[in-house]
Amino acid sequence: MASSTDNSVFIDAPLDLVWRLTNDVRGWPDLFTEYASVDVLHEEGDTVRFRLTMVPDDDGTVWSWVSERTTFAATRSVRAHRVETGPFVYMLIDWTYESEGDGTRMRWRQEFEARPDAPFDDAGITKRINDNTAVQMSVIKRKVELAAQSA
């Protein structure tokens, strides 16, 4: 059964800066607290394929998978999906950015379905994604706002 999440954060920074920093895949280990490394596997035009490796979880497990992202600068949007789906049947993520006053609204919409043999069900992973997204968006907000103050 398909599930989805829809989260956003207001970042008190110009749209161009938020766009640039959050779409620098190579810099994600410095932007997110959950990513240990990013290995870019292929780039062509506005599409990048990369291996994302997380920091070890509480059990010491290290999760890693290949994803692909395509940025659409004209519409300030991104379409991403997991190439190696792991415990998911599929995982799609849409990022959108909109100017809001003097800042930027960044939104992540995710659609996914857990495999029947996954170590979680759709309801459990939906809660986990929503909880973790709030943490990561807060961290990104703080880091991007600090970068804006330094610019």
Other Cβ atoms closer than 10 A to 24? 12
Instruction: Answer with the residue of higher pLDDT: 58 or 65.
Output: 65
CATH number at residue 86: 3.30.530.20
Q: Across-strand partners of 11?
A: 104
The whole-number pLDDT of residue 29 equals 97
pLDDT in tens, 5-27: 999 999 999 999 999 999 999 99
Task: Give tens-digit pLDDT for 70-82.
Answer: 999 999 999 999 9
Instruction: Give me the pLDDT at residue 119, please.
Output: 87
**pLDDT tens per residue, range 115-130:** 999 988 889 999 999 9
Please give the residue range of the domain that contains residue 48: 3-150
Write the DSSP symbol of residue 33.
S
* Pairing state between β 77-82 and 35-44: unpaired
In this prediction the pTM is 0.94
**Band of the pLDDT at 1, cuts 50, 70, 90?**
low
Long-range interactions of 76-80: CB distance < 8 A, separation 24+? 76/15, 76/19, 78/23
**Which residues on neighbouring strands pair with residue 150, listed in sequence order?**
none
Sheet holding 77-82, edge to edge: 3-11, 103-114, 88-100, 77-82, 64-72, 47-54, 35-44
| Domain count of the fold of the chain | 1
